[in-house]
Amino acid sequence: MWTNRLWPGVHIPESTPTGGELPAYARVVNAVEGNTTFYATPDAATVEKWRSSVDDGFRFMFKLPREITHDRKLRGVDGPLRDFLDRFEPMGELMRPTSIQLPASFGPADLGVLARFLEDHPLETGWAVEVRHPGYFGTDDERRLNDLLATHGADRIILDSRAVFAGPAKTPEELEAFENKPRLPVRAVATGNHPVVRFIGQTAEEANPEFWEPWVPTVARWVNDGREPLIFLHTPDNGAAPSMARRFHAEVAALVPGLAPLPDPPPARALGLFDETPPSG
């Protein structure tokens, strides 16, 4: 997401108009996980607007529509898949990788379906696959999955929701996260060039660094190995997500001095008459 009612005046300029959030967001961080495409494919004008709102260093990771992943479960999807990829063709290298979020019902018995999909639909900008069936964790089928992804240069999306289940569940957003977020083992594996981590933390920003701390050296190692990981940090209300992302990036950069910096964010609040620093002396 790049729109949140809690961000204007805190992370993005308070004067940001409705519909102008993406360019403001892109001046704070350099990647976004696009969830809306799971529910509907935007029209061509919207895709072009998104493309023109960011510079060439930005990255989108959009989800395939649920018709493809959840309704058809990757079977008989040539038509809707081509429609989706054609619609996003103007994104070019900015759309890297594309997310295949599979339902919990897509189990190890379906690995052959995933294999045929990856074989029949190679994507130059890459696929990233998220599985939620417990059979893919700590089993021989997990090895089969990882080998399959590595063979096709596809990445495995790693969901880390441990902080959610360790923290309080008091606000409506926290209760929803506690009830609905997947609770699966964390597998820090890189099978392609763009490993993806989806970290879901607690509402209180300062509660999260201890949970993401183990990821810092792992992500630094991936970068030093020549990979280009995407790390998305969320909270139940996402209010602190931009500043968390910048803090995590800084921690990785401390281990990877050559890491490209994030953009210099614009002032979130305009200086008012009584906000200026008084002269000294």
**Cβ contact 61:36 at 8 Å:** no
In-domain check, residue 12: no
220 pLDDT above the threshold of 60: yes
In-domain check, residue 271: no
In-domain check, residue 116: yes
In-domain check, residue 176: yes
Number of domains, the chain: 1
Predicted confidence at residue 270, as pLDDT, reads 63
- Taking residue 276's Cβ as centre, other Cβ atoms within 10 Å add up to 8
With a threshold of 0.75, does the pTM exceed it? yes
Sort 230 into a burial class: Cβ within 10 Å, 0-12 / 13-18 / 19+. buried
Could you tell me the sign of the dihedral formed by the alpha carbons of 43, 48, 50, 51, in that order? Answer: positive
Predicted confidence at residue 68, as pLDDT, reads 98
- Express each pLDDT in 179-188 by its tens digit: 999 999 999 9
Two tokens at 109? Answer: 């018995």
Two tokens at 118? Answer: 């990856």
Predicted confidence at residue 269, as pLDDT, reads 77
70 pLDDT above the threshold of 70: yes
Residue 92 maps to which CATH number?
3.20.20.410
In-domain check, residue 210: yes
273 pLDDT above the threshold of 60: no
In-domain check, residue 66: yes
What is the maximum alpha-carbon separation in the chain? 75
229 pLDDT above the threshold of 70: yes
Range of the domain at 114: 21-253
Predicted confidence at residue 1, as pLDDT, reads 85
Q: What are the residues facing 233 on neighbouring strands?
A: 199
Sort 18 into a burial class: Cβ within 10 Å, 0-12 / 13-18 / 19+. exposed
Average pLDDT rounded to a whole number, residues 69-78: 98
CA angle 20, 233, 186 (to 5 degrees): 150
Predicted confidence at residue 266, as pLDDT, reads 82
How far apart CA 225 and CA 87 sit, in angstroms, is 33
Q: H or E element: which one contains 70?
A: none
